[in-house]
């Protein structure tokens, strides 16, 4: 059994009481545990504390501080920036913490911090209930919720964080706090959008909503219809009810042919007849090359795009909210997509409207409440030889779109290389209050391997 240079004696003490496992370089399982979704991230923590319960997390935090080790936190391991894994740090790894308990009578669920949306959706669907999760199912509940959490149900039920009722949090002293709007309104406010800045969230309690069968799927047009389709989409999406959300994308055909297509991913949470009526204009527009839309359980809808984002593929993402969907923006994205260097990459428009936009700008730490679109460039590839070209294309495309973008960024999509101005644009008008609260709750900035709010 190896010991770390930093505080080897204490590490043996930590091992003694620990329910999970403590891994060091060379241990079986170490390499699996440090591998996250983005295959570009290849970092080697000094210690990986694979926690099984809250007491493990508290001990790990206290040990790291006593041993002078930096702390990074892994929930679902999906952040493209990869700050869940840091060279030489102690990684608080929540992956084994997957407890989920639904209280159907109260309409709530308590979920531990290592769970994914796929796991949570499965448990809540048994009761005909759901909470807004991400647009795909493999992301972690923890990181996604702490950063806001956009997804298919946000027009109807708000962001993931908008349904949050409480968080069990291990703070920088290793103390365990039960944070709710009643117990600590300021900290609860900060946890809804402040990312990993305030401690390790060991579990979350959400309010659930009745959701069972939904209607969803993909409508794909040949790329030469892309400009017209995006103009149609801009106008048609504007009148949708809270039941419906439609994302638009320039992608490659799912049949593996490599053909570039313009697509609309439709979603409707009302009954099938209402869905058919409201989605009819999208289904009826133009001459689609492919239509795969129909009723399905919500957890299935949440997996429709999963295959496009395989674990271990190489990822570099940039996103920004847009200033509307002007003709200039549409022409530029269509033009840029012609030169995309990888068949796994896309240009995606995520629609914000409905319940997500009825929450006040400063009611939670998430300031992105305007009706409109978030533009995402999720560049994905597998051959390391393509890395330079893929990163350059993403940056150049973002730069080319500059005049059409708003100065607002979605926290969950920020990369590792984005500067302080991008972090400010993610926290927006809530940044100053977050700094004040960071000074109160984590004055030493123990939790700084995140999109950091500097105290
Ligand atoms: C394929 C893919 C699809 C995505 N789709 C969406 C989407 O639809 N909607 C959306 O909003 N975002 C989406 N994201 C972004 C995603 O929400 C963020 O990357 C988020 O951070 C992932 O959470 P995680 O727990 O998996 O991440 P991790 O990589 O484990 O953690 C990321 C960071 O979050 C913090 N963190 C994680 N867990 C905890 C915890 N328990 N306590 C305290 N801090 C913690 C830490 O700072 C950590 O560095 C997507 C990302 C990918 C790669």
Give percent of the chain above pLDDT 70.
Answer: 98
Residue 451 lies in a domain: no
Ranges of beta strands (E only) in 285-326 are 290-297, 314-321
pLDDT by residue (tens digit) across 11-62?
A: 998 999 999 999 999 999 999 999 999 999 999 999 999 999 999 999 999 9
279 C-alpha vs ligand 1 centroid, how far in Å? Answer: 31
Q: What's residue 75's pLDDT?
A: 98
Token couple for 86:
């840091």
Query: What angle is formed at CA 144 by the lines to CA 148 and CA 117, rounded to 5 degrees?
Result: 125
Q: Are residues 88 and 105 in the same domain?
A: no
228 C-alpha vs ligand 1 centroid, how far in Å? Answer: 34
Q: Are residues 236 and 358 in the same domain?
A: yes
Per-residue exposure over 6-31, b if at least 16 CB sit within 10 Å of its own CB, e if not: bbeebbeebeeebebbbbbeeeeebe
272 C-alpha vs ligand 1 centroid, how far in Å? Answer: 32
Q: What's residue 244's pLDDT?
A: 98
Tell me, using a 6 A CB cutoff, whether residue 120 lines ligand 1.
no
Residue 424 lies in a domain: no
Q: What's residue 417's pLDDT?
A: 81
Domain final residue pick, 93, 127, 149: 93
Rounded CA gap, 55 and 68, in Å?
A: 20
Q: Are residues 13 and 122 in the same domain?
A: no
Given a cut of 80, is residue 103 above it in pLDDT? Answer: yes
Residue with the nearest Cα to atom 50 of ligand 1? Answer: 139
Residue with the nearest Cα to atom 38 of ligand 1? Answer: 75
Residue 26 lies in a domain: yes
Q: Are residues 298 and 390 in the same domain?
A: yes
pLDDT by residue (tens digit) across 342-376?
A: 999 999 999 999 999 999 999 999 999 999 999 99
Nearest residue to 446 via CA among 203, 201, 197: 197
Tell me, using a 6 A CB cutoff, whether residue 193 lines ligand 1.
no
Q: What's residue 9's pLDDT?
A: 64
The answer to whether 170 and 199 have CB atoms below 8 angstroms apart is: yes
Given a cut of 70, is residue 1 above it in pLDDT? Answer: no
Mutate which of 57, 142, 410, 418 for ligand 1? The one with the most ligand atoms within 8 Å of its CB, which is 142
pLDDT by residue (tens digit) across 416-441?
A: 887 889 999 999 999 999 999 999 99
Tell me, using a 6 A CB cutoff, whether residue 448 lines ligand 1.
no
Rounded CA gap, 127 and 325, in Å?
A: 39
Tell me, using a 6 A CB cutoff, whether residue 95 lines ligand 1.
no
Q: Are residues 205 and 217 in the same domain?
A: no
Q: What's residue 10's pLDDT?
A: 81
Q: What's residue 350's pLDDT?
A: 98
What pLDDT band is residue 2 in, cutting at 50, 70 and 90?
Answer: very low
What pLDDT band is residue 254 in, cutting at 50, 70 and 90?
Answer: confident
Domain final residue pick, 93, 126, 148: 93
Rounded CA gap, 12 and 307, in Å?
A: 42
CATH number, domain containing residue 59: 3.30.43.10
Tell me, using a 6 A CB cutoff, whether residue 450 lines ligand 1.
yes
Residue 425 lies in a domain: no
Tell me, using a 6 A CB cutoff, whether residue 75 lines ligand 1.
yes
Residue 449 lies in a domain: no
Tell me, using a 6 A CB cutoff, whether residue 50 lines ligand 1.
no
Q: Are residues 310 and 387 in the same domain?
A: yes
The answer to whether 214 and 296 have CB atoms below 8 angstroms apart is: yes
Tell me, using a 6 A CB cutoff, whether residue 201 lines ligand 1.
yes
Ligand 1 atom having least distance to the Cα of 447: 47
What pLDDT band is residue 4 in, cutting at 50, 70 and 90?
Answer: very low
Q: What's residue 151's pLDDT?
A: 98
Residue 105 lies in a domain: yes
Given a cut of 60, is residue 262 above it in pLDDT? Answer: yes
| Average confidence (pLDDT) over 206-213 | 96
Rounded CA gap, 375 and 370, in Å?
A: 14
Helices 327-337 and 226-237 meet at what angle, rounded to 10? Answer: 140
The answer to whether 10 and 18 have CB atoms below 8 angstroms apart is: no
Given a cut of 50, is residue 6 above it in pLDDT? Answer: no
Q: Are residues 206 and 279 in the same domain?
A: no
102 C-alpha vs ligand 1 centroid, how far in Å? Answer: 22
Q: HEC profile for 252-265?
A: ECCCCCCCEEEEEE
Q: What's residue 5's pLDDT?
A: 47
Q: Are residues 240 and 201 in the same domain?
A: no
Question: What is the model's pTM?
Answer: 0.96
Ligand 1 atom having least distance to the Cα of 135: 8
Mutate which of 86, 115, 134, 161 for ligand 1? The one with the most ligand atoms within 8 Å of its CB, which is 134
The answer to whether 215 and 267 have CB atoms below 8 angstroms apart is: yes
Ligand 1 atom having least distance to the Cα of 37: 53
Q: Are residues 346 and 269 in the same domain?
A: yes
Residue reference for tokens 């149609």:
232
Q: Are residues 48 and 132 in the same domain?
A: no
Residue 450 lies in a domain: no
Residue with the nearest Cα to atom 28 of ligand 1? Answer: 77
Ligand 1 atom having least distance to the Cα of 38: 53
Residue with the nearest Cα to atom 21 of ligand 1? Answer: 143
Mutate which of 35, 78, 132, 375 for ligand 1? The one with the most ligand atoms within 8 Å of its CB, which is 78
Q: Are residues 252 and 400 in the same domain?
A: yes
Mutate which of 89, 113, 143, 314 for ligand 1? The one with the most ligand atoms within 8 Å of its CB, which is 143
Ligand 1 atom having least distance to the Cα of 199: 43
Q: Are residues 393 and 349 in the same domain?
A: yes
Q: What's residue 3's pLDDT?
A: 42
pLDDT by residue (tens digit) across 69-85?
A: 999 999 999 999 999 99
Residue 277 lies in a domain: yes
Given a cut of 60, is residue 200 above it in pLDDT? Answer: yes
257 C-alpha vs ligand 1 centroid, how far in Å? Answer: 31
Domain around 258? 213-419
Give Cα separations from 190 to 83, 131, 193, 454 (angstroms). 20, 20, 6, 14
Residue reference for tokens 């290389």:
417
Nearest residue to 429 via CA among 363, 382, 385, 376: 363
CATH number, domain containing residue 117: 3.30.465.10
CATH number, domain containing residue 350: 3.40.462.20
What value does the mean pLDDT of the chain take?
Answer: 96
Given a cut of 90, is residue 320 above it in pLDDT? Answer: yes
Q: What's residue 257's pLDDT?
A: 87
Tell me, using a 6 A CB cutoff, whether residue 142 lines ligand 1.
yes
Assign 66 to helix, strand or coil.
helix
Q: Number of folded domains in the chain?
A: 3
The answer to whether 178 and 218 have CB atoms below 8 angstroms apart is: no
Nearest residue to 263 via CA among 220, 324, 315: 220
Ligand 1 atom having least distance to the Cα of 36: 29
408 C-alpha vs ligand 1 centroid, how far in Å? Answer: 18
One DSSP character per residue, 124-137 reads HHTTTEE----SSS
pLDDT by residue (tens digit) across 114-130?
A: 999 999 999 999 999 99
């Amino acid at each position: 059994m190896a010991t770390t240079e930093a505080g080897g004696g204490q590490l043996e003490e930590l091992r003694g009481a620990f329910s999970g496992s403590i891994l060091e370089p060379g241990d079986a399982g170490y390499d699996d545990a440090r591998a996250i979704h983005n295959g570009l991230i290849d970092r080697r923590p000094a210690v990986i504390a694979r926690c099984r319960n809250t007491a493990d997390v508290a001990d790990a935090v206290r040990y790291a501080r006593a041993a002078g080790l930096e702390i990074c936190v892994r929930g679902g391991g999906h952040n493209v920036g990869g700050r869940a894994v840091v060279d030489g740090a102690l990684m608080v790894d929540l992956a084994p913490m997957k407890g989920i308990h639904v209280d159907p009578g109260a309409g709530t669920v308590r979920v531990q911090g290592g769970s994914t949306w796929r796991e949570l959706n499965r448990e809540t669907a048994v009761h005909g209930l759901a909470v807004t999760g991400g647009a795909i199912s493999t992301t972690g509940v923890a990181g996604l919720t702490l950063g806001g959490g956009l997804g298919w149900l946000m027009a109807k039920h708000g962001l993931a964080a908008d349904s949050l009722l409480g968080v069990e949090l291990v703070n920088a002293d290793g103390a365990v706090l039960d944070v709710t709007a009643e117990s600590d309104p300021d900290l609860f406010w900060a946890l809804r959008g402040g990312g990993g800045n305030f401690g390790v969230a060991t579990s979350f309690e959400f309010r659930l909503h009745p959701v069972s069968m939904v209607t969803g799927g993909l409508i794909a047009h040949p790329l030469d219809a892309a400009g017209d389709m995006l103009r149609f989409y801009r106008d048609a999406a504007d009148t949708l009810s809270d039941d419906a959300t439609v994302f638009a994308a320039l992608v490659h055909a799912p049949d593996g042919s490599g053909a570039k297509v313009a697509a609309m991913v439709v979603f409707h949470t009302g009954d099938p007849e209402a869905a058919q009526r409201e989605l009819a204009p999208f289904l009826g527009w133009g001459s689609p090359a492919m239509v795969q839309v129909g009723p399905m359980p919500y957890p299935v809808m949440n997996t429709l795009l999963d295959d496009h984002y395989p674990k271990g593929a190489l990822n570099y993402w940039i996103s920004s909210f847009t200033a509307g969907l002007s003709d200039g923006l549409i022409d530029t994205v269509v033009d840029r997509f012609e030169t995309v260097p990888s068949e796994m990459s896309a240009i995606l428009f995520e629609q914000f409207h409905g319940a997500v936009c009825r929450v006040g700008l400063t009611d939670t730490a998430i300031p992105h409440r305007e009706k409109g679109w978030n533009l995402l460039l999720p560049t994905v590839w597998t051959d390391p030889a393509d890395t330079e070209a893929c990163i350059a294309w993403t940056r150049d495309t973002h730069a080319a779109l500059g005049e059409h973008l708003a100065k607002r960024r979605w926290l969950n999509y920020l990369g590792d290389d984005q500067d302080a101005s991008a972090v400010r644009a993610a926290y927006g008008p809530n940044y100053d209050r977050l700094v004040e609260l960071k000074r109160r709750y984590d004055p030493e900035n123990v939790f700084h391997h995140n999109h950091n709010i500097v105290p």
